[in-house]
Amino acid sequence: MDPNNPVVKFCAQGMQAEAEGDHALALDLFTRAWEARQDDYEACIAAHYLARQQENPTDVLHWNWLALQHAEAVGGEEVRGFYPSLYLNMGWSHEVLGDQEKAQKYYDLAAACLYEVPAGPYHDVVSGGIAAGKERLRSNDKNEDGLP
């Protein structure tokens, strides 16, 4: 990502505000990133971060879906490394909304393309998120079957 890109700058500032606990400022900065977007690539990035600041799970799903749609519109090398995280977020959104089948689909898609994310802390976070999501779904399946 180009650190001089205005959308990337707003998102970086928003992440800093989020880390400092200022969610109102983070939401404002991510919204400004969305408003500054010029193409699908920038829209993907801004939507991804806007999803993080939504309080309503349906709104989270909406922004995660927009991020994925814009990534698909970009296609190619530029966004390949985004897909594991985007699919993970879609899985989480569907899980929270109670659609275990769609959640499983997106967790599986995330796992299938995880190789696109280089080894390192970010890979570990995404990999851990996928594993945790799949484990929650397995636990829910066991509980529905009456098993401990």
What is the structure's pLDDT at 134?
97
Q: Which pLDDT tens digit goes with each residue over 113-125?
A: 999 999 999 999 9
Do 144 and 83 belong together in one domain? Answer: yes
Domain span including residue 50: 1-55
Do 31 and 91 belong together in one domain? Answer: no
Residue 116 DSSP class: G
What is the structure's pLDDT at 147?
45
Instruction: Give the pLDDT band (50/70/90) at residue 3.
Output: confident
Q: Domain tally for the chain?
A: 2
Looking at the whole model, is its pTM more than 0.75? Answer: yes
Contact yes or no for 138/148 (Cβ under 8 A): no
Instruction: Name the CA dihedral angle for 130, 72, 103, 122, rounded to a multiple of 10 degrees.
Output: 20
Q: Is residue 115 one of the residues assigned to a domain?
A: yes
Do 51 and 96 belong together in one domain? Answer: no
For residue 17, what are the contacts with CB-CB under 8 A and spacing of at least 6? Answer: 23, 25, 26, 29
Do 42 and 86 belong together in one domain? Answer: no
Do 1 and 47 belong together in one domain? Answer: yes
Q: Is residue 61 one of the residues assigned to a domain?
A: no
Q: Which pLDDT tens digit goes with each residue over 40-78?
A: 999 999 999 999 999 999 999 999 999 999 999 998 899
Q: Which pLDDT tens digit goes with each residue over 91-147?
A: 999 999 999 999 999 999 999 999 999 999 999 999 999 999 999 999 987 666 554
Distance CA 122, CA 144 (A): 33
Do 50 and 82 belong together in one domain? Answer: no
134 CB burial (10 A radius; 0-12, 13-18, 19+): middle
